[in-house]
Structure 1
């Protein structure tokens, strides 16, 4: 009987794992295809605005069915106050519009491989922010789990720095159409590469700040789907305003290229709406640590799409830097796993002691 129950428990983990793997492969393809669309010359924030608008359109019925309809009788949906609206406006600014402004700008200067590698820094960066904001206690860093998390963070940062400042030789014969243009000399390419890595890093920093902010917002408004929908709606208008940085011509919003239209729809449905739903569901089933461990699959997916479909060159620095970053991420997650296990054991010991105290006979 026990073995049957364990078998059921293991089998129950496979669906969210499969969903997350498919989601991360799709995310790698989204980054590669968006990079191709950016190379056409489309305003990156117009792509961002359309992407968030499609995400909002998809999430509205999902939020209604899964939250409003099912939880209506239990009355657990908090009322939308002015403070909650402001919080969701900030959430959209950090996690969608400003993040996409820098991230897509960085993607236009680099490649999908580099963008996914730098996003893999997010768990370590979030930990560093948690330490700065004192949500991570100093004494916790003295434990084995704490030291592993610090070591993983440093390895991740080292990989990102290597990836940024060492491009290295080609390790493939493919070449991108951008690099074949005569005006793209080596100095300009190096400058654009460094700028792109800087923009991607800023985008990842904003995403990490959003995760910390979202942690407090989810306590005040524990409705993941409608919260994401509200954030997306605000992000649409924010992206539209940020698009003025590059162009103020209304004609730029009319996109005739069928490939770009397809990429925007694909990015909005798969890369934004469905990816958010899949990630939230997987975190609920498996936990954030396990889900974070699956996310680097998007890096390998982006590399594969970059090389095979878009013919983007592979650089030695990108490969080495990505491998070092992933190694650092798994060292960090190893420390996080040990911390979670230690916390669970302490809670079990405390509950056991409380049970003993409650059953102890009173003194006569």
Structure 2
């Protein structure tokens, strides 16, 4: 039974880690740190930390590197470490940490649609759980649009009333133009990350060494991120200056927790539950960040964002509910009988709806129950 809850606990751990990264990243960016330098330092640290573990633990499971696998790794390093993270940090600069994490909740919807198109996620329109997935996906997108376009009055929270840092609050307050600009960047970043998650799941089928794949992604991301930084910052050497301060702490924390451990853990989760399950827990990160930002960053909380957040959480609950039903349905007795029965019984049993689940899904269901 303990193994049944491991994917849930691992996914929650990822979101707690991401919440800490969002708070630290916003503080570092506010201090003038280049998002391009942050991405490079982040993955360089992740590579150094994770490489010894990959060299030791993956000795027996590491397959031979092929041109096809290397091309996928190059694309993985570009999609998430370079495109997604830089656009996410730029979007956060134009908005707030709370806004960025809230809008990022469209990630499960995008991942679901892509997995559906690529047939990694099954949808049966005669099934209630599939209705939950589709309706939840549309609701999530609607909630994200509400958060982006609807601001509303400022909410005075009881722990900030009368003591909020108005100078910081004014800095963190964003207009509609900046919200739209930041929202577009974050949305493109979400699409890039969804592509990354899908491609990672596909790559793990031919390169099942999780730790080694993590190191390769971080190493390639470091190299590609350096090229992007040199181009975008036009060779400005000042962006690489770093001291023993929040900037270094942000790079170290996000590199170890949110790149090294994150890529490895989400790969392990995807082997059991698929890419959609990995991204379905992102609302937890938003809740943590929204709460912590009012304390640490003195960010303002707007009614429109609260309403949008509630809509997003409701939609994602439906998606997660639909996914959970995929693993809670017990194996059909007809299937079990068909396995030990005659070929005639197997043919007769195939006419029943209960046998529409494939053998791989049945194995996952059985292992989760055990």
TM range (shorter): 0.7 to 0.9
Alpha carbons of structure 1 residues 268 and 290: separation in structure 2 relative to 1, 3 Å: same
Please tell me whether the aligned partners of residues 156 and 329 of structure 1 are also in contact (alpha carbons under 8 angstroms). yes
1:36-185 aligned within 5 A: 36-68=27-59, 71=60, 76-133=61-118, 136=121, 140-172=124-156, 173=161, 174=164, 177=167, 180=170
Alpha carbons of structure 1 residues 287 and 85: separation in structure 2 relative to 1, 3 Å: closer
- Displacement, 1:98? 0.8
Question: Is 1:330 aligned to residue 311 of structure 2?
Answer: no
Question: Is 1:308 aligned to residue 299 of structure 2?
Answer: no
Provide the rounded CA distance (Å) in 1 between the counterparts of 2:268 and 2:197. Answer: 16
- Displacement, 1:22? 4.4
Deviations 1:83-110 (A, max 9, x none): 2211100011112211112111111112
Q: 2:305 maps to which residue?
A: 318
Structure 1 residue corresponding to 2:249, chosen from 262, 280, 283? 262
Q: 2:20 maps to which residue?
A: 29
**TM-score, with normalisation over the residues of structure 1?**
0.83
Please tell me whether the aligned partners of residues 143 and 308 of structure 2 are also in contact (alpha carbons under 8 angstroms). yes
Alpha carbons of structure 1 residues 237 and 292: separation in structure 2 relative to 1, 3 Å: closer
**TM-score, with normalisation over the residues of structure 2?**
0.82
Q: 1:196 maps to which residue?
A: 182
Please tell me whether the aligned partners of residues 211 and 264 of structure 2 are also in contact (alpha carbons under 8 angstroms). yes
**Higher relative contact order (CA closer than 8 Å, sequence separation 6+):** 1
- Displacement, 1:24? 2.4
Alpha carbons of structure 1 residues 253 and 205: separation in structure 2 relative to 1, 3 Å: same
Which range is displaced more, 143-152 or 23-32? 23-32
- Displacement, 1:230? 0.4
Please tell me whether the aligned partners of residues 37 and 263 of structure 1 are also in contact (alpha carbons under 8 angstroms). yes
Q: 1:208 maps to which residue?
A: 194
Provide the rounded CA distance (Å) in 2 between the counterparts of 1:101 and 1:127. Answer: 23
Provide the rounded CA distance (Å) in 2 between the counterparts of 1:155 and 1:319. Answer: 15
Q: 1:6 maps to which residue?
A: none
Which range is displaced more, 197-206 or 270-279? 270-279
1:218-257 aligned within 5 A: 218-243=204-229, 244-256=231-243
Which range is displaced more, 58-67 or 351-360? 351-360
Provide the rounded CA distance (Å) in 2 between the counterparts of 1:47 and 1:213. Answer: 24
> Cα RMSD (Å) of the superposition?
2.8
- Displacement, 1:280? 4.3
Please tell me whether the aligned partners of residues 45 and 101 of structure 1 are also in contact (alpha carbons under 8 angstroms). yes
Alpha carbons of structure 1 residues 285 and 62: separation in structure 2 relative to 1, 3 Å: farther
Please tell me whether the aligned partners of residues 201 and 275 of structure 2 are also in contact (alpha carbons under 8 angstroms). no
Secondary structure, counterpart of 2:58 in structure 1: helix
Question: Structure 1 stretches of 5 or more lacking a match?
Answer: 1-8
Please tell me whether the aligned partners of residues 198 and 275 of structure 2 are also in contact (alpha carbons under 8 angstroms). no
Provide the rounded CA distance (Å) in 2 between the counterparts of 1:245 and 1:38. Answer: 16
